[in-house]
Amino acid sequence: MKAKYVITIIVLCYLSISTMTMTITYANEQKHSKIITVHEYRKDVTGDGKEETIKLKGIPFEAGSHFLKAVYATVATSTGKTFKLMYEPGYDPKLTFLDVNHDGVKDIFESSATGGSGGMMNYRINSIKGEEQSEIPLPPPLKLQGKFDQAFTASLKIMDTNQTFLINLRSRQKDYVRLGLYQKNGILNEPTELMIDPVAVYKPVKISGKKGYGLLGLQQVSGAYHADRIGTILSTWYYEHGRWQLIKTKWQVGNRS
């Protein structure tokens, strides 16, 4: 019986020490997680005619790191109310202020780089009109289908608009033959789809004939491998009646990275 009591005491002591170690480690991590102010802005984002103080803050991944493991903004209103807007971790976050939903009050458009090879960005849009916080969704991704065709060509179809773009790939034929994608006479060895990335970048743009700003989305299309950049689909969107309307699309021929 005594042996059992001794074992129990040892286990309890071990658990107590482990808990203390975890608590100390967590406290040390919190101590070394220094919050930095990336930018400070003065903008009217509530519509009361007075400028709010908006601070974009972050916590570096480690000392000297440019990657922020936590990113957020605080908005202090003239009435003393404070909002906290949470964002995705990333590099070089910034805020842009524009009326995305066209209600007469500037919205908060946040962006930061993910650091990935495809140049992907994080985005979030918030509205605080009348001191009521809400999030405005990003435009939906285009529905795209792309494939290699015979004779060193490819086709890209935008399902949303029923547009089809025919792409000449003859300048890449040596590479494609070497890779076994095509035979020398231009015969495709097997059905192969193009590589279509999600939207990497959104840019605020003025829309002709419309009030205020819309968003321009850039979506990369690649061929045999990701660096084999064939081009980019550009989609222009305008927020109207509570949803994003697709205004136009454009195919832009690209070069390999």
CA-CA distance, 140 to 16, in Å (whole number)? 51
Residue 154: band (very low, low, confident or very high) from pLDDT cuts 50, 70, 90: very high
Burial call 174-210: b when 16+ CB within 10 Å, e when fewer: ebbbeeebbeeebebeeebebbbbebbbbeeeebeee
* Of 184 and 17, more confident: 184
> What per-residue confidence (pLDDT) applies to 256?
58
Which of left, alpha, beta for 176 (phi over 0: left; psi -120 to 50: alpha)? Answer: alpha
Is pLDDT at 12 greater than 60 in this prediction? no
**pLDDT over 70 percentage in the chain:** 85
> What per-residue confidence (pLDDT) applies to 11?
40
Number of neighbouring beta carbons within 10 Å of residue 249: 18
> What per-residue confidence (pLDDT) applies to 33?
67
Domains of the chain: 36-136 (2.40.128), 144-253 (no CATH)
* Contact by Cβ (8 Å): 83, 104: no
CA-CA distance, 206 to 153, in Å (whole number)? 34
pTM value is 0.81
CA-CA distance, 14 to 99, in Å (whole number)? 58
CA-CA distance, 203 to 98, in Å (whole number)? 12
**pLDDT over 90 percentage in the chain:** 79
Write out pLDDT tens, residues 35-44: 999 999 999 9
CA-CA distance, 67 to 90, in Å (whole number)? 6
> What per-residue confidence (pLDDT) applies to 255?
67
Rounded to an integer, the average pLDDT of 220-246 is 95
> What per-residue confidence (pLDDT) applies to 132?
95
> What per-residue confidence (pLDDT) applies to 19?
43
Write out pLDDT tens, residues 193-219: 999 999 999 999 999 889 889 999 999
Is pLDDT at 84 greater than 70 in this prediction? yes
> What per-residue confidence (pLDDT) applies to 25?
40
> What per-residue confidence (pLDDT) applies to 201?
95
Is pLDDT at 28 greater than 70 in this prediction? no
Write out pLDDT tens, residues 104-139: 999 999 999 998 766 789 999 999 999 999 999 999
SS3 for the chain, per residue?
CHHHHHHHHHHHHHHHHHHHHHHHHHHHHHHHCCCEEEEEEEECCCCCCCCEEEEEEEEECCCCCCEEEEEEEEEECCCCCEEEEEECCEEEEEEEEECCCCCCCCEEEEEEECCCCCCCEEEEEEECHHHCCEEECCCCCCCEEEEEECCCEEEEEECCCCEEEEEECHHHHHHHHHCCCECCCCCECCCCECEEEEEEEEEEEECCCCCCEEEEEEEEEECCCCCCEEEEEEEEEEEECCEEEEEEEEEEECCCC
Write out pLDDT tens, residues 56-80: 999 999 888 899 999 999 999 989 9
